[in-house]
Structure 1
Amino acid sequence: MSNLPKVVASLIEAQNNYDSIEFSKCFAETAIVHDEGHKYNGRKEIKSWIEGANDTYKTIMQPVEYLEDSQKLKAKISGNFPGSPLVLTYQFDIKDDQIHSLKIV
C-alpha cells in the first residue's frame, strides 16, 4: 500500500515479525495505546503489551486501506484468536514520524 506513512509500514513489519522492540520504537516515549478496553502509557508499557499479545495471539496484519486525512488504517488481522480473521480500524495520531496515540477498534 503506497500511501502508508513510513512509521505505520514499520509498525506492520515489526508486528508481522513479532518484534516487540522495533514495534515499540514506532511510538513516542509518551505515547498512549487503547486496545480492548485497556490503556497503555509510554513505550515501556506498549512493548510489554505487544509482547504479551504476540505470545498469546500470534497476530499478522495485512493493510486493507489507509485514509490519510483521518490517519486511519483498516487492516485484516489473523492469528490465534476466536473469529480470526478480522478487519480492525487503527486510529493513529502521528507527528514527526512517531505514533503519539493509537486506538484499535
Structure 2
Amino acid sequence: MTLSLPDAVSTCFDIINGGDPKRVNACFRPDATVTDENQRHQGLSAIESWQRETRQAFTYKAEPLAAATGNGVLNVRARLTGDFPGSPVQLDHVFVLEQGMIQSLEIKPS
C-alpha cells in the first residue's frame, strides 16, 4: 500500500529505511525534536546521530500502513520488521509539521 505523505514525511521514512542520515536537514527544522524509546533528540545533529546509532544497533524496515490528520498532527502508523526484539511491531509516528518541515516526531507503540 502506498500512502500519499507530505514530502518531509516521505523523506523521513526514506532515512529511517536506510537512507543517508545527513538528509535530516531536508525534512526536519533546525530546532526539531524526535522522541523515540523515551529519549528526546533535539536539533539536526542529534537527530542525525539518533538515526546513525539506531542503524548500527539494528537492521529494520518501516512500512507506513495508514495516515490520519487531526489537531495539527499527522499520525502515520507503520509496521517495523527487523532484527530487534519483538519484531514485527506497529508504531505510531506522530509528526508536527511547520512550513512543510518536521518540527517534532514522536515514535510510540500503536
Aligned-partner Cα distance in 2 for 1:7–1:63: 14
Aligned-partner Cα distance in 1 for 2:15–2:39: 21
- Runs of at least 4 residues off by over 6 Å: none
- The aligned length equals 105
| Partner of residue 25, structure 1 | 26
Could you state the TM-score of these two structures normalised by the residue count of structure 1?
A: 0.91
| Partner of residue 62, structure 1 | 63
Note if contact 1:72-1:92 (Cα within 8 Å) is conserved in structure 2.
yes
**Unmatched 5+ residue regions in structure 2?**
none
- Greater strand content: 2
Report percent identity of matched pairs: 28
**Unmatched 5+ residue regions in structure 1?**
none
Provide the secondary structure at the position in 2 that maps to 1:54.
helix
Matches within 5 A, 1:1-80: 1-69=2-70, 70-80=73-83
- Greater helix content: 1
Could you state the TM-score of these two structures normalised by the residue count of structure 2?
A: 0.87
Q: 2:88 aligns with which of 85, 90, 101?
A: 85
Cα RMSD after superposing both structures: 1.4
Give the letter aligned to residue 85 of structure 2.
Answer: P
